Structure 1
């Protein structure tokens, strides 16, 4: 008989072990990488157009070269490096994202403790009771007494169909999602600091050029007034020149406002108040143009960009939650055990008390619950939505890279044209200076040539800064090297 019981228990244990190894619902499969081999329909040149000016070097695209996680160092600005390190350490946005990641990690640890291991609880209770024997058909007087209990209870949910494992899988995917969100926030912060610094340098240079234009125009206006006084010019010429002067004067505050906004933004990005001291000012001469740009092919881009990786983590989370919804349709087995002592006094609990124990198992199977089927369909719809969201982010990422590649080439051509125009305007100015010195041109003609030269320089400054901004945009579009840690 004992052998038969042992055999039956062994068989039950074997079956339970097999059942506890089951995990219902589909296992997550990584979406296929993009099948395209290029970002644009027309093959893109490996090198961009060069220009005979500063920041006019030809940039080349290099496949297979790893991106430096500290990609901003390729811009060659020590001030920018220091400011970005400061921002990475003090940014409230990054601090908030780190806290959210810690929250996801602790949520996983908490649920893991509840689902992987038995739960043990110690308890002690005391009560005073009045017992009337007559209520049970017995004789005797009512009596009052204390009853004390102490014990240890164990509870465990046997994960027959993998519900708990799917829950943990969803929480682990949430951790991955928050980790990639942190990488994305880090990339966004560093690119924002770098782009703002370059823009600030551009505004400062353009203000200098605009002030030089205004000075020339004011000088030309004064000379025209003198010519009108001497009867050598018509009065309406003054009005025409005065209109130009005031239009130029009105443009300077607009550029100044943009410069000041960039200064305020740099301070805030570094975790400081807009009026705080210590935020550096930048000039275009602080930066170098990266000439070798690492190019990641489309099939590998999905592993390089944090936004795509985050979308994949959400997809895996939705897949696991769909598995949870399926597992809810299957039986749930809960086991519990209690061992304790019962006595009429506290001291007796650990001496002469009576030992009490119980073992219990509860198997529940939903029979009629239409809500569970609806939850399963809702989870499947959530997975479909996550899948389409992933596909959209991949497409947008490919479009982002394609746009940046086109900007690299088109702006290099613009720089080439503006550099030629700037050299032509400088030669024209030199010729006009020689003519003025020989008496073949008057001073107003010289001032007009100076204005034209300054306006061409304004355009040149803008496209030079844009080439630096395009380089930042390209490195960000490639994922910025997505560091494995959050170290600066």
Structure 2
């Protein structure tokens, strides 16, 4: 990261120099003003409650995922950041953009090259009656060529400015990749924990179904129940067991995804496992202000840098329509014999200056300028779209957390009521005081309530992680 920080400092320094350059034609970049919105939702955002609240304007830690209180999760996120090839590719993209800008800077400097020419030939006679009289000669020429094109209208400085903005975009994409990778690991880990919870709930109801099936078999032997009751319970057991294979398949796929996010091959599965009981719900959730969001989200900053790049290209297009001057000089020596190459009288030099002005080009340059101006308008519209989408992301996460708080509370009550009902029905079934339909209904209700409770808990964790990502993490 040290080399990347060096590149960033160089890019920022040149961007500042380009911004204060008064001789460059075209629009000078000015950051778009922050949006006038003062809130993310129509009404003032209320804390979700049920053990969780928002802290407006609070700072967000770069390692925000530690708020979930899981060391395995912290270890996995850090390993993913260290090993995931997506980040390596993003860092390489920064270097590509940086060196492209550095290469363009060289155009503003004098270009110097050396030329060496050695040739031999035979002069033609008008009537070659005697080939021996034809002149055979050699010519040796050594020269230095210098050319320089003054950047009168700032065409090259604008080109460099655009490329520097592209470098900044790649840097911001790297930050966005860090944020997205961390959020994906957290979301996938929570999904794994949710699936494990659902599997445990399904296995728990399967165990209850098997217990009741054994009871019905004993009661059938004693004539207390009919064969139809036994068959109904066997069908209920089979239905409960059908739930497990799809959940187990999804769990295996989530494990594969986590392994890939950690930058490892699927055969080298990660050692960390995740359980909802070992993930802590962040109680105090930071919530940035709308004006802060623009400065925090890397995608918004990248869209702003794209405006900078597009505006600089307008300057390049304008400069192409203006007069251009080129200065050149070359000097060296030329002789018929290599030993006389540096003798007196063999030297020469040429100084030249040329000026060009496009007169008629079929409207090519004008249309290129209009295309660049349209590109600037497109970049500005894309920036507004990114900002609007960012506000939507935050608003969605806020709404989700407010609903999640109520959903978790309701799911907990429903599961507790279903469990108590099933306990009563199971006890009544032992003494034959309830019919089999009531038993089946109680089992199904408890199974659904248990899985709904797990999903509600995991949704709340996932939506909390989504809010961290929506506000730009801690980059």
Q: TM-score range by the shorter chain?
A: 0.7 to 0.9
Partner of 2:157: 165
Aligned pair partner of 2:181 in 164, 180, 189: 189
CA contact (8 A) 1:21 1:160 kept: no
CA contact (8 A) 2:224 2:432 kept: no
Does residue 384 of the first structure (1) align with residue 403 of the second (2)? no
Partner of 2:166: 174
Partner of 2:15: none
Deviation, structure 1 residue 469? 0.8
Deviation, structure 1 residue 225? 4.0
Partner of 2:81: 88
CA contact (8 A) 2:165 2:306 kept: yes
Partner of 1:38: 39
2 CA distance for matches of 1:213 and 1:428? 14
2 CA distance for matches of 1:84 and 1:157? 51
1 CA distance for matches of 2:287 and 2:405? 18
Partner of 1:73: 66
1:415-470 deviation digits (Å, cap 9, x = unpaired): 11122233434555666688799x79689888976765454332221111111111
CA contact (8 A) 1:337 1:357 kept: yes
Distance 1:145 1:42, change over 3 A: same
Aligned pair partner of 1:348 in 340, 362, 366: 340
Distance 1:197 1:443, change over 3 A: farther
CA contact (8 A) 1:267 1:279 kept: no
CA contact (8 A) 1:216 1:447 kept: no
Pairs within 5 Å for 1:201-220: 201-220=193-212
Partner of 2:12: none
Distance 1:279 1:106, change over 3 A: farther
Does residue 120 of the first structure (1) align with residue 112 of the second (2)? yes
1:172-220 deviation digits (Å, cap 9, x = unpaired): 1110111111111111111111110111011112101101111211332
Distance 1:39 1:462, change over 3 A: same
Partner of 1:250: 242
353-362 or 103-112, larger mean C-alpha shift = 353-362
Pairs within 5 Å for 1:251-400: 251-352=243-344, 354-369=346-361, 370-400=363-393
2 CA distance for matches of 1:412 and 1:60? 10
1 CA distance for matches of 2:345 and 2:285? 80
Distance 1:239 1:346, change over 3 A: farther
User: Secondary structure in 1 aligned to 2:341?
Assistant: helix
Partner of 1:7: none
CA contact (8 A) 1:104 1:178 kept: yes
Aligned pair partner of 1:421 in 414, 418, 433: 414
Deviation, structure 1 residue 352? 4.5
Give the alignment's TM-score, normalised by structure 1: 0.85
Partner of 1:59: 52
Distance 1:251 1:347, change over 3 A: farther
CA contact (8 A) 1:65 1:295 kept: yes
1:227-255 deviation digits (Å, cap 9, x = unpaired): 34443333333343333222221111111
1:261-282 deviation digits (Å, cap 9, x = unpaired): 1000001111111121444211
Distance 1:426 1:170, change over 3 A: same
1:299-339 deviation digits (Å, cap 9, x = unpaired): 22111111111111112111111221111111111111112
Distance 1:291 1:346, change over 3 A: farther
Pairs within 5 Å for 1:146-165: 146-165=138-157
User: Secondary structure in 2 aligned to 1:288?
Assistant: coil
User: Secondary structure in 2 aligned to 1:329?
Assistant: coil
1 CA distance for matches of 2:22 and 2:325? 14
413-422 or 163-172, larger mean C-alpha shift = 413-422
Partner of 2:470: 477
CA contact (8 A) 1:342 1:353 kept: no
300-309 or 343-352, larger mean C-alpha shift = 343-352
1:34-65 deviation digits (Å, cap 9, x = unpaired): 111000112211x2221xxxxxxx22222222
CA contact (8 A) 1:146 1:345 kept: yes
2 CA distance for matches of 1:111 and 1:330? 20
User: Secondary structure in 1 aligned to 2:149?
Assistant: strand
Unaligned 5+ runs, structure 2? 1-20
Unaligned 5+ runs, structure 1? 1-19, 51-57, 483-488
User: Secondary structure in 2 aligned to 1:215?
Assistant: helix
